[in-house]
């Protein structure tokens, strides 16, 4: 999100500046020293943007707390249930931008029953009256209704940016409201949301006279759009830099948009496929020259239904690309090679495993600046073929020494390759390895994957996020507890032998914030071992582990500041049985919007 | 569009050289048997000179005996039983666990249908595209093609027996496809999954031009 510091400040702050100026020139009656200090502080704090720094500032003393609260313009709420809208609004009066996160990540994988919560409604309702100058809203995993969007569009005349990530509950009619009423809108980014098709032509709802749109991202929308209206929209949006189309836009249509917007820096190419019906005699447009004309293009994605014949069209932009997302493109090794050989500046690369180990070797050979790699499975089942393996991982580790973040799905892996990566890529901050077959050992030695992950936590001194998989004993957890001193997020699935595993982590990782565990043999005793730490965490998720209701109740009793939710499967007959423990710190009493299958202890 | 090349690429099974006797037999064998035309269909007449668009001047089919290549492949899977059965992939050895592997369902759904190929029909002015992953058998594919190009009728359920015909001009068509190696093959020669894997584009070719394509020799399949 862009920070716009060049805006005219609010009237109150201006007054204070004048007061200070007056003090310095001796013209005004001097206010008390405390007042002066507070005024000065506020003006200094305007420049403080990091929320961790701000949190620290607010703890110094009451006066600093007040000053900080008055000057905080960016509100970040990592768990929408940790604090109520009213409390947040009472403390921070002058907020311009809000980040709200709702459901825990495992909800993405259908582990949470629907209608669990994370409703945007109470927030937008409260903000509508209290934050008239609100400009930016960023929501992740929240339930947002069309009415919420309507209210948002009506209530904030200066509204500029709406970013919705992994949200659901709304449809194209809600988008129509945003498009038509938010006259200052610069950013409308819909990323991996579930958007209902209300058969409303929302693209036509943008102001006719021209827009200030800089970013329009709608690649997740699974319904057709009015292309002619989109073409006109692009033509009257001279500031547009980021455009990500959905799969209902054909390559011919893409061409028409590209020639109108050669200034684009980020492009999501839609289907990258001919439309369903193409006249046989027709000459296809010169796609290559359209791409060549986009001299500022640095980020390319889309390719949702790619016909690989069209790949050569992107060659002209490859040399400038810093980010390339092929994770929806079913392409093979050769097809990838033809593209990647030009991508010397690439820093972010997402791809499907259809390119095989050999494709990854090609990446390693060319992309020396690579910072982030994600390899997704084209066939996400436990017993699928698995075209990538330790060979690809090893190659990447040897070729891409600056790697900081990796997500790698595979069927076969070895400790040796993981150890190699731990040594070759010391800058790793995020290491997520998903061996898709549960409990799979090192496929060459037959050993558990303990040593590999152990090496990662040992050698990658900057590591903050880790996801483990494969056959893992408590030893792996002892390594994490011993060396993972900076780890903030840990994902565990089908791992460990006993309570000791979880204990190692809860006792050893002081920075742990988010812990999500499924199908691992950790019980009540292990849960108890984290009592000293749970208030420092954003949440703990444990599903299909060895917990009992009593054990959870114990925690709830011991820690009143924690909300302990036990979530049943909707079909579950046994009212005492539960599938999921989800607990989080909160300043509020337990939420009242929980559905029937959630029990708050 | 790429130029289509019809000379075969060198391959391991190229030792089955063109053989005139089998060529003569091929057309009859590949012919889909006659079925009565269905209801009145809209005829798409090729107004433009599209019949050879993108094609080389002379179409030169090299005969590829299916006994060399496809029987080797056919060993692996029952055929033609494959057509009637499901996806033909090995049945899941374990029950799939909820939410594992951790791939968002949006992504899983998006990747499910991701094998698009262009479909051209001799004489029709329009190219279509079809998603092979959506279909489970040659049957379904043919039915989809019938819906797409409604100038055709495809008569019966059995691929062996059915025929693609344009009732207006009486022309008969043979479904062909270009495979990974650039060879043009008859649709139906290999097990369905293999076809999906290797097909790059589909062309409904007028029977009169399909001379020399690998025949659908029943003898291949009887060995499996």
- Cα separation of A159 and A181, whole Å? 10
Find the length of chain B. 224
| Res. B14: pLDDT tops 60 | no
Tell whether the model's pLDDT for residue A95 goes beyond 90. yes
Mean pLDDT of chain B: 60
A276 to chain B, any CB pair closer than 8 A? The answer is yes
Q: Are A270 and A251 in contact (CB under 8 A)?
A: yes
Residues of B within 8 A of A304 (CB-CB) are 110
Q: Which residue of B has its CA nearest to A110?
A: B99
A279 lies within 8 A of chain B by CB: yes
Q: What is the reported pTM?
A: 0.78
What six digits make up the tokens of B29? Answer: 């064998």
Name the burial class of residue A561, with classes exposed (0-12), middle (13-18) and buried (19+) by CB atoms within 10 angstroms of its CB.
exposed
pLDDT number for residue B18: 42
Query: Which of the two residues, A354 and B94, has the higher pLDDT score?
Result: A354
Q: Name the DSSP class of A523.
A: B
B149, pLDDT greater than 80 = no
Higher pLDDT, A71 or B223: A71
Min Cα distance A447 → chain B (Å) is 21
Is the CB of B17 inside 8 Å of chain A's CB atoms?
Answer: no
Best of A380, A411, A469, A572 to mutate (most B CBs within 10 Å, chain B)? A380
Q: How many CB pairs below 8 Å do chains A and B form together?
A: 111
**Are the beta carbons of A378 and B100 separated by less than 8 Å?**
no
Beta-carbon separation of B96 and A382 below 8 A: yes
Q: Which two tokens stand for residue A541?
A: 């998720």
- Residues A65 and A56: their CA atoms lie apart, in Å, by 9
ipTM for the predicted complex: 0.86
Residue among A434, A420, A287 nearest A364 (CA): A420
| Residue A280 near chain B (CB below 8 Å) | yes
pLDDT the model gives residue B217: 46
- Asked whether residue B64 carries a pLDDT value surpassing 90, the answer given is no
Nearest-5° angle of CA A584, CA A590, CA A596?
A: 100
Which residues of B are less than 8 Å from A276 in CB distance?
128-129
Q: CA triplet A145, A148, A181: central angle to 5 degrees?
A: 120
Tell which of A268, A280, A353 to mutate to test the B interface (max B CBs under 10 Å). Answer: A280
Cis peptide before B80 (omega within 30 of 0): yes
What lies within 8 Å, CB to CB, of A285 at 6+ separation is: A252, A255
- Residue B91 contacts A where some CB pair is shorter than 8 Å: no
CB A436 within 8 A of CB B101: yes
Q: Minimum mean pLDDT among A65-69, A341-345, A373-377, B171-175: which range?
A: B171-175
Res. B123 pLDDT band, cuts 50 70 90: confident
Answer whether residue B144 shows pLDDT above 70: yes
Indicate the residue of A110, A278, A438 with minimum beta-carbon distance to B98.
A110
Mean of all residue pLDDT scores within chain A:
92
- Residues A236, A203: Cα–Cα separation, whole Å: 13
- Spatial separation of the C-alpha atoms in residues A38 and A42, rounded to whole Å: 6
- B94 interaction partners in chain A (CB closer than 8 Å): 382-383
Indicate whether B223 pLDDT > 50. Answer: no
For residues A484 and A459, the answer to whether their CB atoms sit within 8 Å is no
- Cβ–Cβ below 8 Å for A109 and B104: yes
Q: Which one is predicted more confidently, B81 or A537?
A: A537
Contact criterion met (CB < 8 Å) for B100 and A309: no
Q: Note whether A378 contacts B111, CB cutoff 8 Å.
A: yes
For residue A215, pLDDT beyond 90: yes
Residue numbers in A near B118 (CB within 8 A)? 274, 278, 307
Q: Rounded to a whole number, what is the distance in Å from the CA of A435 to chain B's nearest CA?
A: 8
Of B93, B101, B108, the CB nearest to A409: B101
* Cβ contact B97–A438 (<8 Å): yes
For A108, the closest of B101, B104, B110 (CB atoms) is B104
Decide if pLDDT at B215 tops 60.
no
Task: pLDDT band for B132, please (50, 70, 90 cuts).
Answer: confident
Extract the tokens encoding A82.
């940790």
Going by pLDDT thresholds of 50, 70 and 90, the confidence category of residue A281 is low
Among the partner residues B101, B108, B111, nearest to A436 by beta-carbon distance: B101
pLDDT given at position A405: 98
Q: Rounded mean pLDDT of A410-435?
A: 98
Q: Which of A278, A305, A381 sits opposite B127 (nearest CB)?
A: A278
Nearest by CB: B126 against A280, A305, A330: A280
Question: Which of B110, B124, B129 lies at the smallest CB-CB distance from A304?
Answer: B110
pLDDT of B186: 87
Burial grade of A470 (CB within 10 A; 0-12, 13-18, 19 or more)? buried
Q: Are A382 and A437 in contact (CB under 8 A)?
A: yes
Assess contact for A120 and A159: CB atoms under 8 A.
no
Chain A contact present for B52, CB below 8 A:
no
CA distances from A43 to A36, A38, A40, B100 (A): 11, 9, 5, 51
Contact A279 B125 (CB under 8 A): yes
| E strand spans, A451-510 | 465-467, 489-493
Q: Collapsing DSSP states into helix, strand and coil, what is residue A428?
A: coil
Whether B34 and B88 have beta carbons less than 8 Å apart is answered as no
List residues bridging with A139 in a β-sheet: A100, A164
pLDDT above 60: residue B15? no
Q: For residue B84, what pLDDT band results from cuts at 50, 70 and 90?
A: very low
Task: Tell me the average pLDDT across A36-61.
Answer: 87
Tell me phi and psi for residue B158, to 5 degrees: -90, 130
pLDDT, residue A22, reads 53
Asked if pLDDT for residue B72 goes beyond 90, the answer is no
More confident residue, A168 or A9: A168
Residues A358-372 have a mean pLDDT of: 98
Interface contact B126, partner A, CB < 8 A? yes
| Closest residue, chain A, to B89 (C-alpha) | A384
Q: How far is CA A263 from CA A24, A243, B75, in A?
A: 48, 11, 55
Under an 8 A CB cutoff, do A194 and B102 touch? Answer: no
Q: Cα–Cα distance between A260 and A254 in angstroms, integer?
A: 10
């Amino acid at each position: 999100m862009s920070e716009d510091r060049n805006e005219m400040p609010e009237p109150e702050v201006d007054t204070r500046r004048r007061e200070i100026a007056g003090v310095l020139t001796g013209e005004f009656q001097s206010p008390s020293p405390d007042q002066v200090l507070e005024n000065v502080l506020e003006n200094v704090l305007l420049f403080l943007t990091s929320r961790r720094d701000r949190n620290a500032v607010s703890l110094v003393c009451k006066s600093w707390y007040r000053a900080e609260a008055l000057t905080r313009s960016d509100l970040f709420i990592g768990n929408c249930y940790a604090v109520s809208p009213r409390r947040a609004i009472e403390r921070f009066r002058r907020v311009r931008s809000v980040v709200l996160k709702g459901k825990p990540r495992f909800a993405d994988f259908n582990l949470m029953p629907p209608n669990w919560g994370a409703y945007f409604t109470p927030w937008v309702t409260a903000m509508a009256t209290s934050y008239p100058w609100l400009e930016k809203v960023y929501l992740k995993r929240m339930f947002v209704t069309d009415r919420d969007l309507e209210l948002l569009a009506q209530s904030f005349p200066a509204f500029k940016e709406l970013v919705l990530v992994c949200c659901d509950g709304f449809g194209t009619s809600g988008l129509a409201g945003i498009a038509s009423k938010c006259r200052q809108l610069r950013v409308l980014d819909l990323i991996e949301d579930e958007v209902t098709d209300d058969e409303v032509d929302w693209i036509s709802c943008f102001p006719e006279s021209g827009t200030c749109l800089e970013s329009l991202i709608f690649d997740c929308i699974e319904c057709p759009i009015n292309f002619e209206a989109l073409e006109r929209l692009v033509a009257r949006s001279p500031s547009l830099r980021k455009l990500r189309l959905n799969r209902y836009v054909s390559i011919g249509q893409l061409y028409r948009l590209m020639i109108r917007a050669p200034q684009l820096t980020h492009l999501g190419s839609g289907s990258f496929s001919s439309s369903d019906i193409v006249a046989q005699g027709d000459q296809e447009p010169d796609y290559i020259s359209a791409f060549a004309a986009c001299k500022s293009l640095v980020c390319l994605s889309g390719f949702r239904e790619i016909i690989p014949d069209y790949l050569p069209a992107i060659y002209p932009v490859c040399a400038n690309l810093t980010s390339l997302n092929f994770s929806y493109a079913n392409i093979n090794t050769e097809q990838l090679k033809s593209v990647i050989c030009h991508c010397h500046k690439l820093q972010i690369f997402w791809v499907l495993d259809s390119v095989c180990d050999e494709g990854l070797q090609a990446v390693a050979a060319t992309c020396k600046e690579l910072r982030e790699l994600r390899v997704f499975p084209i066939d996400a089942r436990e017993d699928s073929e698995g075209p990538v393996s330790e060979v690809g991982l090893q190659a990447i580790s040897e070729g891409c020494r600056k790697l900081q973040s990796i997500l790698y799905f595979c069927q076969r892996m070895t400790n040796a390759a993981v150890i190699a990566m731990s040594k070759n890529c010391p800058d790793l901050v995020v290491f997520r390895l998903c061996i898709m077959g549960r409990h799979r050992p090192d496929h060459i030695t037959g050993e558990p994957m303990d040593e590999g992950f152990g090496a990662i936590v040992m050698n990658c001194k900057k590591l903050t996020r880790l996801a483990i998989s494969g056959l893992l004993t408590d030893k792996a957890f002892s390594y994490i507890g011993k060396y993972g001193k900076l780890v903030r997020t840990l994902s565990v699935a089908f791992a460990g032998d006993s309570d000791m595993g979880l204990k190692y982590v809860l006792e050893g990782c002081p920075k742990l914030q988010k812990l999500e565990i499924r199908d691992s043999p950790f019980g009540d005793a292990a849960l108890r071992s984290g009592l000293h730490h749970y208030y420092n965490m954003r949440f703990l998720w444990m599903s299909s582990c060895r917990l009992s209701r009593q054990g959870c109740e114990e925690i709830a009793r011991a820690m009143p500041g924690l909300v302990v939710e036990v979530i049943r499967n909707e079909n579950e007959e046994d009212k005492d049985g539960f599938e999921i423990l989800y607990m989080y710190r909160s300043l509020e009493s337990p939420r009242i919007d929980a559905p029937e299958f959630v029990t708050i202890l | 569009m790429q130029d289509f090349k019809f000379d075969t690429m060198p391959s391991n099974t190229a030792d089955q050289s063109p053989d005139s006797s089998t060529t003569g037999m091929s057309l009859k064998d590949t012919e889909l048997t006659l079925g009565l035309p269905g209801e009145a269909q809209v005829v798409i007449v090729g107004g433009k000179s599209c019949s050879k668009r993108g094609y080389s001047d002379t179409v030169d089919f090299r005969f590829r005996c299916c006994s060399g290549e496809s029987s080797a492949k056919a060993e692996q899977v029952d055929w033609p039983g494959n057509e009637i059965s499901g996806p033909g992939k090995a049945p899941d050895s374990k029950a799939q666990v909820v939410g594992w592997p951790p791939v968002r369902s949006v992504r899983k759904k998006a990747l499910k249908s991701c094998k698009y190929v262009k479909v051209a029909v001799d004489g029709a002015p329009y190219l279509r595209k079809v998603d092979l992953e959506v279909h489970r058998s040659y049957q379904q594919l043919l039915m989809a093609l019938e819906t797409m190009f409604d100038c055709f009728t495809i008569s019966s359920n059995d691929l062996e027996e059915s025929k693609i015909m344009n009732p207006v001009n009486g022309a008969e068509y043979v479904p062909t496809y270009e495979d990974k190696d650039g060879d043009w093959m008859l649709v139906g020669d290999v097990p369905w999954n293999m076809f999906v894997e290797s097909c790059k584009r589909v062309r409904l070719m007028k029977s009169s031009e399909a001379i020399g394509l690998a025949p659908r020799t029943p003898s291949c399949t009887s060995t499996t």
